[in-house]
Amino acid sequence: MARVTRPLRVLIVDDDALVRAGLSLMLDGTAGIAVAGEAADGDEVSAAADAHAPDVVLMDLRMPRVDGITATRRLRARTNPPEVVVLTTFDSDENILRALRAGASGFLLKDTPPDEIVQAVLRVAAGDPILSPRITRRLMDRAAVEAGAHQRARAALDRLTPRENDVVLAIARGRSNAEIAAELFMGVATVKAHVSSVLTKLGLDNRTQIALLAHDAGLA
């Protein structure tokens, strides 16, 4: 976690000069916070961090040369790195997860009310990760869907024989019928019979669906 001193030093990273100006005006008007510097692209972030020693970085995602996720990953790899709050209009699940995996401590949308952005900066500086309510709900919904898919897949595979499960795992690994036959010491005709049985028992149409089911079950 960043070592926080007062005033809290914030670096604003966004390729839109108007956005930087608006954020700077808002944050500089808040007691205990000072805008230490700005950067217009991800490739400027390391130098700006060296020059301004920020405690928190407000990071845009889409920038012309180096995106915010790459810049966040580079920052978080530093000794005593600043905390990073992503502030973006792009709220796809992929962007959210990639940003969090890169080390961001927060993810906010640009339509977040100004006072909530200020509070997010203060909270992440104190070691309290923050997500906008809309993002939190989406991640919870995604987790629930994935958990449900996993449980359903496991229940489906429990209806198969051990040998059929061996065939399912081999299919998930991309093996052909001949390769499965060689690996499992059975004839190709027997493999085909097992595949047909799996499709019938599970109500599936093809091998791709078998592979997807294995993936949902955590086998591949």
59 forms bridges with which residues in the sheet? 13, 86
Q: What is the full DSSP assignment across 36-87? A: EEEESSGGGHHHHHHHH--SEEEE-S--SSS-HHHHHHHHHTSSSPPEEEEE
Single out the residue of 43, 34, 35 nearest to residue 15, CA to CA: 43
Single out the residue of 59, 52, 47 nearest to residue 19, CA to CA: 59
Return the CATH class of domain 152-216.
mainly alpha
Show the CA angle centred on residue 100, arms to residues 96 and 149, nearest 5°. Answer: 65
pLDDT at 4: 46
pLDDT at 127: 80
Q: Which fold has domain 8-131?
A: Rossmann fold (3.40.50)
**Tens-place pLDDT, residues 93-106:** 678 888 888 888 88
3-state secondary structure of 182: helix
Quick one: which H or E segment has residue 10? strand 8-13
3, burial (CB in 10 Å: exposed 0-12, middle 13-18, buried 19+): exposed
Phi-psi region of 8 (alpha: psi -120 to 50; beta: other; left: phi over 0): beta
pLDDT at 36: 95
217/181 Cα distance (integer angstroms): 23
Residue 63: partners with Cβ closer than 8 Å, 6 or more residues away = 13, 14, 15, 40, 41, 42, 71
Runs of H (alpha helix) within the chain? 17-28, 45-52, 68-76, 93-102, 114-125, 133-157, 162-172, 177-184, 188-202, 207-216
- Please report, for the chain, the start and end positions of each structural domain, with discontinuous segments joined by +: 8-131, 152-216
Tens place of pLDDT per residue across the chain (220 aa): 445 457 999 999 999 999 999 999 999 888 899 999 999 999 999 999 999 999 999 999 999 999 999 999 999 989 899 999 999 887 676 788 888 888 888 889 888 899 999 999 998 888 877 877 677 666 666 666 667 778 888 999 999 999 999 999 998 888 888 999 999 999 999 999 999 999 999 998 878 788 878 888 887 6
155, burial (CB in 10 Å: exposed 0-12, middle 13-18, buried 19+): exposed
124/1 Cα distance (integer angstroms): 9
Q: Residues in the chain, how many?
A: 220
